[in-house]
């Protein structure tokens, strides 16, 4: 089973891919608006052809926007609390330099969201 994990943000969207029970960062997509983000993710979905899409949901105002985003993509939502902090910590521990960490941080967060989802559904 192929699963796409998404860490939604207003200007940067982290994307991860999961094959079977293992998730890995794929890319960060930059968007100018909500509709631009939807359009770019639809292209990614068309390319990757996942069986399932998971969108991380945080708290507060962003949670509502993330739910709307997930709904537009036909995705399942999953708690993403603290995944950005976890992604930073893990990438530092892995020795990834600051520039690369900053560029891929959202994709790392998406892979943590997706891995947590995959682990909870096995």
Helices and strands per DSSP (H, E), number in the chain: 4, 5
Q: Please give the residue that has the higher pLDDT: either 104 or 6.
A: 6
- Domain-by-domain residue ranges, the chain? 2-120
Q: What is the pTM of this model?
A: 0.85
Tokens representing residue 23 in the block: 């998730």
What is the overall mean pLDDT for the chain? 86
User: What would the pLDDT profile of 27-68 be if each residue is shown by its tens digit?
Assistant: 999 999 999 999 999 999 999 999 999 999 888 888 899 999
Q: How many residues does the chain have?
A: 122
Class of the domain covering 2-120: alpha beta
DSSP per-residue codes, 44-79: HHHHH--SEEEEEE-STHHHHHHHHHHHHHTPEEEE
User: What would the pLDDT profile of 109-120 be if each residue is shown by its tens digit?
Assistant: 898 899 889 988
């Amino acid at each position: 089973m192929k699963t796409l994990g998404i860490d939604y943000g207003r200007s940067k969207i982290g994307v991860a891919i999961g094959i079977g029970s293992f998730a890995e960062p794929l890319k960060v997509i930059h968007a100018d608006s909500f509709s631009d983000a939807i359009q770019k993710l639809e292209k990614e979905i068309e390319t990757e052809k996942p069986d399932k899409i998971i969108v991380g949901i945080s708290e507060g105002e962003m949670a509502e926007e993330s739910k709307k985003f997930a709904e537009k993509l036909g995705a399942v939502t999953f708690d993403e609390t603290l995944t950005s902090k976890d992604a930073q910590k893990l990438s530092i521990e892995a020795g990834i330099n600051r520039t690369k960490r900053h560029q891929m941080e959202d994709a790392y967060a998406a892979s943590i969201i997706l891995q947590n989802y995959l682990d909870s559904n096995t």
